Structure 1
Amino acid sequence: MKFSKVDLSDFVSEKKSVKKNSSQRNVCFILLPCVFLGLIACVLGFFLWSSAFFNPQNVKPLSETQASALNSLLDTAYPLNRGQSLKPLPYPIVAADLPVSSGAAILVDASNGCVLFEKNADEIIPPASITKLFVMYIVFKEIENGNLSLDDFVAPPENSWTVNMPSDASLMFLGQGHQVTVRELLSGLAVASGNDAALALAYKISGSTKDFVARMNYEAQALGLQKTHFEEPSGYSEKNLTTARELAEFCRIYINRYPESLSDYHSAREIRYPLEKNLPSWQKSRGDSMAVFQKNTNPLLGKLEGCDGLKTGFIYESGYNLALTAVRDGTRFLSVTMKGPGTGSAQGNFYRVKDGTLLMEWAFDSFADFHPEKTINSQYPVAVPGSKSKFVNLVPAWLNTLTVPHISASTASEDALSVKAEVQIPEFIFGGTKAGSVYGCVQYKLGNTVLETVPLVADRTAEKANLWGQFWGKLVCFRLRKHQR
């Protein structure tokens, strides 16, 4: 039998095709499992990698540089809420009509600087002996900076001796050769309102009254007190000037920065000076017989519940002034009354007590403090898929005490206990964040009344990822949404 060439060629071609198809099937049998296993590996890898977005422990703390930059950013963006200036309440109220006798007055929450009541608070008036609070502030600052100690001895300069002081000046009765400590001079300022103590401390710190007054004016300007100016440190001069508002602003800064001033000095009921230990050698034989007993000039100590300071002042040009503070159940209020009426100290103190009691009792009846740090977190981690970071923290733009109005409960304190904080944060933030930008908020509510809304801002910048990273970020978003459901 003979085969044609065509038949043989077809046979060879068919054989090659079979081999090729068989080879392709073998490759497919090998590749398909590999691709399948690869897909499984990718899916598992994605799930393992994306699982990190569910673990907020991955948030790294800010460095000192980052924290400082964030604070500066927020201070600039929210100066009223983060600064030291007085400010209005964050919710509207009907202005109180209080029969205050003093020509100028202001009442504030000492914790947050919110103004609760005011009357002619920007009128420029001599502070009189309340000036001495600025002296004490500088002394505490010098101690804080390590330049002075409470137990340092001071030799009173000649112009501070009792015999050289004006006959109507308030004194702690410094004399020639006395050895008195900084601690005792502070008591002399706070309790007896001693002009002599103010001069002695001025010389101790600056070497002269002139240089110390320059320091006082520098500190006032540094605190933003634009209408406050001093000519001397005791308050005796009518050329010392301030306003009730700026005085309250300063007093709030002073007691918050140096709270020990209240417990150690301003709340003291009395002073006896000079004692034997203070006398020069030629008078020591007289023991404590030369000591002069003086009560604290603040007429509300021991009369107003919770009162632990602050300072009185009087010259004819200012009338009867009083910087007053009291605390009850963790809430502290601060008032300043100036140009108080009265002929003589008895009548002047009558109106000081009347106005101070009126303002403080109204404040404690009408308001109480709520402390957010006891209720909300200082930071809330949020996932940031599609960026170079997995998480950022959302932090409150400020964390101030909230002044709660007395609305429905039996007392203002009970209303404060009923405040609820509603935290509103996103499920995630896609594509990055900018430090200081707002991505959520905290609302403080008393019933259905919103008292304050505080922004939640990113604590750091998270840069957007490249296109590949954004693709995977979108997949993470899908998984996060599904998880939230």
Structure 2
Amino acid sequence: MKVSFQKQMFAVVTIFTLLCSMLFTYSSASAATNPALDVQGEAAILVEASSGKILYEKNPDASLPIASMTKMMTEYIVHEAVEKGKIKWNQKTQISDYAHTISQDRSLSNVPLEKGGSYTVKELYEAMAIYSANGATIALAELIGGSEANFLKIMDEKAKELGMKNYKFVNATGLTNKDLKGQQPPGTSPDEENKMSAKDCAILAQRLITDYPDALDTAKITKKVFQEGGKYPVQMDNWNWMLKGLVYSYDGVDGLKTGSTPEAGYCFTGTAKRGDMRLIAVVIKTNSYKARFDETKKLFDYGFSSFEAKELYPKGYQLKDKKTAAVAKGKEKEVGIETAKAIQIAVPKGEKAPYKIGYQFDKKEVIAPIKKGTKVGYMTIASKDGSDPGFLSGKELKTELVTKENVEKANWFVLAMRGIGSFFSNLWAGAVDTVKGWF
């Protein structure tokens, strides 16, 4: 009896020890892949750019002053206006009294503009994107909107379209309105300043570099002379000191936009690419010029060391038990469906995809005739972990489902026969149900 009891106790102790060891190992692994980052600042977020997967967040939805990071919206609208043919890069625009007055204040970030002078859209855009020139930004806003007040309406409409939720625009530049010499847009207060959440900044940055990747060609320029060879050339040094060759150079950084005012503190929306993975980091209201880059470095170090970008679902992916969609009025009653594009998502290094997928169809049936590539719905991708922060788009990431082949419309005779068959089938089913009711 004693020997048997000792064996049982030994087995219990052994199992308990193994369990403790496993729990300790799991806890250590979790701590290694999800460190409690001590990011100094009012708000911050880190996302993988391709999918918008959120890797870290701190007060992501708080609406806070963001200073010149506002100019990312102005940049987006300029690129869109060029794409739609409303303006051209080599087009010249005349400088208003308002834009001229603001441009002369060198206590603000500016390139002095001539009153009544003409500059190309490209020159003004570069001054805005590289040197954060405020007068140049106003000139672009007036060109596109007719006035800064009208441009604010365009900014609001674009923010809604992009899915931003926590923002307020009171000017095109990001300056506090009191710096606009009493010429702030009508309906706005002299004490107001633009506000956005860290998540909204990340959404805007993601869309800017996805929809207009050439924006980075300008954002990564470290030095350039404005109006070189002209009457008033100005040396423009990029305020993003994480760019290659600058003070806080970080491997892979090629954008995007700094900002600072007394109310906003020191802010930065940065992006860096290494290998197949691009990250976007936002920090808002840090306490010094250097701090915004130090905190961004923490985020980038964490992202690149802890995650890897994987193509989890290739273009043409089909869920095993849902490879088709129902077709109405077609020669075939079903059509093959697949994803329209490949999906790349950041995954913790060493882990398999921790995601579940599902389908959302636009309608129960697709009506023939159908062309290959017709959108029929979405494949949804969501984390299996309910506490996961998800994506910039929400808890789920959506990718379009499209038809895999053409489906012709069935002729009238086939449709008529199907109708007759359906009628008798329903009639028979009704009769069977009636008879069953008798017993």
Q: Which runs of 5+ in 1 are unaligned?
A: 1-92, 280-289, 343-347, 409-414, 425-432, 446-450, 470-485
Pairing 1:371–2:311 present: yes
Structural mapping, 1:406-417, within 5 Å = 406-407=349-350
Higher strand share: 2
Q: How far off is 1:175 after superposition?
A: 2.1
Q: How far off is 1:168 after superposition?
A: 2.2
Structural mapping, 1:230-309, within 5 Å = 230-237=169-176, 238-263=192-217, 265-277=218-230, 279=231, 290-302=232-244, 303-309=249-255
Residue 41 of structure 2 aligns to a residue whose secondary structure is coil
Q: 1:458 to 1:240 in 2, by over 3 A?
A: closer
Amino acid at match of 1:272: V
Q: How far off is 1:271 after superposition?
A: 2.0
Pairing 1:434–2:377 present: no
Pairing 1:322–2:292 present: no
Amino acid at match of 1:389: E
Quick one: distance in 2 between partners of 1:358 and 1:226?
27
State the partner residue of 1:160: 99
Quick one: distance in 2 between partners of 1:174 and 1:331?
40
Structural mapping, 1:35-434, within 5 Å = 95-161=34-100, 165-237=104-176, 238-263=192-217, 265-277=218-230, 279=231, 290-302=232-244, 303-342=249-288, 348=289, 350-372=290-312, 374=314, 377=317, 388-389=331-332, 391-396=334-339, 399-407=342-350, 434=365
Q: 1:394 to 1:311 in 2, by over 3 A?
A: same
Q: How far off is 1:156 after superposition?
A: 1.7
Over residues 366-397 of structure 1, what are the superposed CA-to-partner deviations in whole Å (9 max), with x where a residue is unaligned?
A: 11222356575479976989995165113248
Contact 1:394 1:456 in 2 (8 A): no
Q: How far off is 1:323 after superposition?
A: 0.4
Amino acid at match of 1:322: F
Quick one: distance in 1 between partners of 2:210 and 2:257?
16
Quick one: distance in 2 between partners of 1:118 and 1:320?
18
Q: 1:293 to 1:365 in 2, by over 3 A?
A: same
Amino acid at match of 1:434: E
Q: 1:127 to 1:459 in 2, by over 3 A?
A: same
Quick one: distance in 2 between partners of 1:325 and 1:191?
15
Q: 1:214 to 1:259 in 2, by over 3 A?
A: same
Q: How far off is 1:434 after superposition?
A: 3.5
TM-score, with normalisation over the residues of structure 1?
A: 0.61
Quick one: distance in 2 between partners of 1:168 and 1:443?
48
Q: How far off is 1:453 after superposition?
A: 11
Residue 143 of structure 1 aligns to a residue whose secondary structure is helix
- Identity among equivalent pairs (%): 27
Higher helix share: 1
Quick one: distance in 2 between partners of 1:296 and 1:306?
16
Quick one: distance in 2 between partners of 1:456 and 1:219?
22
Residue 276 of structure 1 aligns to a residue whose secondary structure is coil
State the partner residue of 1:58: none
Bigger radius of gyration among the two: 1
Q: 1:105 to 1:203 in 2, by over 3 A?
A: same
Amino acid at match of 1:242: M
Quick one: distance in 2 between partners of 1:422 and 1:179?
56
Quick one: distance in 1 between partners of 2:124 and 2:155?
18
Contact 1:398 1:454 in 2 (8 A): no
Q: 1:327 to 1:453 in 2, by over 3 A?
A: closer
Q: How far off is 1:354 after superposition?
A: 0.8
Quick one: distance in 1 between partners of 2:174 and 2:108?
10
Over residues 106-154 of structure 1, what are the superposed CA-to-partner deviations in whole Å (9 max), with x where a residue is unaligned?
A: 0111111111100111222111001111111111111111111000012
Contact 2:327 2:365 in 1 (8 A): no
Instruction: Please tell me the root mean square deviation across aligned C-alpha atoms, in Å.
Output: 4.2
Residue 212 of structure 1 aligns to a residue whose secondary structure is helix
Q: 1:245 to 1:163 in 2, by over 3 A?
A: closer
Amino acid at match of 2:219: H
Quick one: distance in 2 between partners of 1:441 and 1:323?
28
Contact 1:162 1:175 in 2 (8 A): no
Q: 1:138 to 1:466 in 2, by over 3 A?
A: same
Q: 1:131 to 1:443 in 2, by over 3 A?
A: closer
Q: How far off is 1:221 after superposition?
A: 2.4
Quick one: distance in 2 between partners of 1:225 and 1:122?
10
Contact 1:273 1:291 in 2 (8 A): yes
Q: How far off is 1:292 after superposition?
A: 2.1
